Amino acid sequence: MSGQLLQGNEACALGALAAGCRFFGGYPITPSSDIAEAMARELPKVGGTFIQMEDEIASIAAVLGASVGGVKSMTATSGPGFSLMQENIGYAAMAEIPCVIVNVQRAGPSTGLPTSPSQGDVMQARWGTHGDHPIIALSPSTVRETFDLTVWAFNLSEKYRTPVILLMDEVVGHMRERTELPPRATIEVVDRFTPNVPPDWYFPYEETSADVPPIASFGEGYRFHITGLFHDRAGFPTQRLDEIQPWLERVFKKVSRHESDIIRLKEEWIKDAATVVVAYGATARSAREAVKIARRRGRKVGLIKLFTLWPFPEELFHRLARQGKRFVIAEMNLGQLSLELERIVGRRKVRGVHRADGQLITPDEILEAIRRR
């Protein structure tokens, strides 16, 4: 496939299929419905299954069930549906069930502005479900990145046995770009690590050197218990601290110890920059234009475009702050990732450019913040 005029939502569906997704459970909601429509059309062609559920809660429940059955699974939604999914996202984190949740963000809260863009679900992606848990969240800014990050979301989910959230936004989801997709033979596809021991020897939550235990598929002779309660290595509920604490440490380590594999970003013009603009999603497009204009005007400005929002690249920003750099962060919300950056480098080193009215941030707004920085 090459040279296609693709919509971001279409690229997401194509990326999921290329990654091996064979189950989609979802419920229509603007601006993500195109993903469901594409999956409904394409999944049967490759032997997959599409189910439209009665609501978003049932959608993610179906996705988790399909994943436990050994099938790469995905759902797609927007803000109100993402809110309804939070309990089962926590269940997936506790039970270590791989799946991909796509959230094409729109302005909110509540029903908000269904056809307008937003980046207001960044903190919800990290902390939306209750309790302490690790999470991986990715964000594309182009149609091609949407394809690539969808594939990567599945790979990370399978590799680390965890839910992965793809945080798109309405602009990226609905815009069309001429896009060159990679040949299927060149696409890296990661499959989950399955047990290599007999069923009687299998423990679904045992300690491993990689911090990720193998996962067996239901229906293949491996019978094991799955619960949302804290559990022992066999999956049965426990209240023993010597079983709970090691589990907590392991599920956090399986992300934190592999941040170099999980965190992706793009740096431009950083070496000589006094001010670094930070952006993600559709806003990164305006940010790059603003940085290019600022540099033509003689300002020492660089750009960091984030592909991975969670885990956040703390070490990078610590290093840049020690070099004396200051930051402008642009996002379509009232300062969600800005707070994370302020926590790391200090409030005085960060200036935010924020909009939450359903309008895309313009290069001029970012240029003004650069000038005032």
Q: Which two tokens stand for residue 8?
A: 């971001």
pLDDT of residue 2: 55
pTM above 0.95, yes or no: yes
- Give the contacts of 253 (CB within 8 A, at least 6 positions apart): 211
Q: 165 and 119 in contact (C-beta within 8 Å)? A: no
Q: Give the integer Cα–Cα distance in Å for 322 and 220.
A: 53
**Which alpha helices (H) appear in 161-282, and where do they start and end?**
170-174, 241-256, 259-262
Q: Give the integer Cα–Cα distance in Å for 254 and 221.
A: 27
pLDDT tens per residue, range 141-199: 999 999 999 999 999 999 999 999 999 999 999 999 999 999 999 999 999 999 999 99
Mean pLDDT confidence for 70-80:
98
Which residues span the domain enclosing 41? 4-186
Same domain, 281 and 167: no
Could you tell me if residue 21 is inside a domain? yes
Mean pLDDT confidence for 70-89:
98
Could you tell me if residue 220 is inside a domain? no
Q: 228 and 91 in contact (C-beta within 8 Å)? A: yes
- Give the contacts of 90 (CB within 8 A, at least 6 positions apart): 129, 130, 131, 133, 228
Mean pLDDT confidence for 218-242:
95
Residue whose token pair is 């909601």: 29
| Widest distance between CA atoms in the chain | 69
DSSP-derived letter for residue 267 is: E
**Which alpha helices (H) appear in the chain, and where do they start and end?**
8-19, 33-42, 56-68, 79-84, 86-95, 122-127, 143-160, 170-174, 241-256, 259-262, 283-296, 314-322, 336-345, 363-372
> Does the pLDDT of residue 230 top 70, yes or no?
yes
Domain count of the fold of the chain: 2
Q: Give the integer Cα–Cα distance in Å for 67 and 20.
A: 12
Residue 68 is part of a domain; what is its CATH number?
3.40.50.970
pLDDT mean across residues, the chain:
97
pLDDT of residue 169: 98
Using CA of residue 201, residue 203, residue 208, residue 210, what is the dihedral sign?
Answer: positive
Could you tell me if residue 249 is inside a domain? no
Residue that finishes a domain, picked among 149, 164, 186: 186
Mean pLDDT confidence for 234-253:
96
Q: 99 and 64 in contact (C-beta within 8 Å)? A: yes
Mean pLDDT confidence for 269-280:
97
Could you tell me if residue 196 is inside a domain? no
Could you tell me if residue 342 is inside a domain? yes
- Percent of the chain's residues with pLDDT above 70: 99
DSSP-derived letter for residue 231 is: B
pLDDT of residue 50: 98
> Does the pLDDT of residue 233 top 50, yes or no?
yes
Could you tell me if residue 337 is inside a domain? yes
Q: Give the integer Cα–Cα distance in Å for 257 and 119.
A: 28
Same domain, 142 and 27: yes
Could you tell me if residue 227 is inside a domain? no
Q: Give the integer Cα–Cα distance in Å for 278 and 256.
A: 22
Residue that finishes a domain, picked among 154, 186, 218: 186
Residue 296 is part of a domain; what is its CATH number?
3.40.50.920
Mean pLDDT confidence for 51-65:
98
Banded model confidence at residue 3, pLDDT cuts 50, 70, 90: confident
Same domain, 168 and 270: no
| Percentages (nearest 5) of helix, strand, coil residues in the chain | 40, 20, 40
pLDDT tens per residue, range 315-367: 999 999 999 999 999 999 999 999 999 999 999 999 999 999 999 999 999 99
Could you tell me if residue 316 is inside a domain? yes
Same domain, 182 and 270: no
Q: 276 and 350 in contact (C-beta within 8 Å)? A: no
pLDDT of residue 1: 45
> Does the pLDDT of residue 137 top 50, yes or no?
yes
Q: 179 and 10 in contact (C-beta within 8 Å)? A: no
Helix (H, G, I), strand (E, B) or coil at 373: coil
What is the chain's alpha carbon radius of gyration, rounded to the nearest angstrom?
21
pLDDT of residue 96: 98
Using CA of residue 340, residue 346, residue 347, residue 351, what is the dihedral sign?
Answer: negative
Q: Give the integer Cα–Cα distance in Å for 298 and 344.
A: 28
Residue that finishes a domain, picked among 166, 186, 206: 186
Q: Which two tokens stand for residue 166?
A: 């793809």
